[in-house]
Amino acid sequence: MAKPNALILGGYGINCEEETAYAFEKFGAKSDIVHINDLIDGLKKFEDYQILAIPGGFSYGDDTGAGKAFANRVANNLLEEILKFVQQDKLAIGICNGFQVVTALGLAPALDEKYGERQSGLMANENNRYTCRWVHMKTESKKCVWTKGVKKLFVPIAHGEGNFYMPEKELKQLQKQDQVVFRYIREDGAPANGEYPYNPNGAILDIAGICDGSGRVLGLMPHPERHLFFHNRPDFTLQKEKYLRENKPLPEEGEGGQIFKNAVEYFA
């Protein structure tokens, strides 16, 4: 199997780069954590990579709006390169702060193939407070290559600005074109319907993640890289009792891994 190279972007307060790099490596990719300035200085090149990940974090402290300043850093220095990257047969993901950057740069949803045009945004959480908690999501996109075989996902969020918004007309188009990838749900699978805490930030239509028209560029607020192991689950001690009483061995893996596995396998 070909081993894809994953470019894990870092610097200026991005802070989930190590676990994101680990997630890709766990499933067979070769991860490189690259400071954005090394791309700007030409020390590293997009063309050497098949996967681009913009991890979570607090780039520029969310000053002037989450993801805005980091997106500006990219737009002012690397716009052409990154737009080229996402339009090739390669994969890109933006998680949390990375999703905010993805929307600001217009890497997704890129309706009508308008890569580079900002079409959606992430506003302050409805309760106007940074919140860290686990959420349930369902996936519905058949198009997105990152979510093959994933129906539901139980992973944490940790953000202050995750309230997804898009004007109505574009929102319709987004849904029609199968570009809504994740929606927040209740534990029993029923829609969150905007209700806190199931929908933790007030996102329109409970949208937690979207992709571009090709399904290769994914952006989402929750953190799949924080649920790579069974013991990361907030209910692992309860689950453990069930396994023990059924005389079953405890699972090793967490639910978030499949996302990264899919990306690596795309290049197999």
Which residues in 151-210 contact other proteins (CB under 8 A)? 156, 158, 163, 165-167, 202
Catalytic residue selected from 96, 159, 161, 227: 96
Total number of residues that touch other proteins (CB under 8 A): 72
Instruction: Kindly state whether residue 5 participates in binding other proteins, applying the rule CB under 8 A.
Output: no
Shorter beta-carbon distance to other proteins: residue 152 or 231: 231
Shortest distance, CB of residue 26 to other proteins, whole angstroms?
7
The residue within the footprint of other proteins, chosen from 131, 173, 175, 177 (CB under 8 A), is 131
The residue within the footprint of other proteins, chosen from 73, 90, 136, 183 (CB under 8 A), is 73
Shortest distance, CB of residue 183 to other proteins, whole angstroms?
19
- What is the rounded CA–CA span in Å between residue 200 and residue 197? 5
Catalytic residue selected from 16, 136, 161, 223: 223
The residue within the footprint of other proteins, chosen from 104, 192, 207, 263 (CB under 8 A), is 104
Shorter beta-carbon distance to other proteins: residue 89 or 188: 188
Active site residue 132: no
Residues 6+ apart with CB under 8 A from 102: 54, 92, 94, 108, 217, 219
Residues 6+ apart with CB under 8 A from 7: 32, 34, 44, 46, 48, 49, 51, 52, 53
Catalytic residue selected from 16, 161, 225, 227: 225
Active site residue 223: yes
Distances (CA, A) of 204 to 28, 102, 176, 200, 201: 36, 18, 16, 11, 9
- What is the rounded CA–CA span in Å between residue 5 and residue 267? 10
Q: Which residues are catalytic?
A: 96, 223, 225
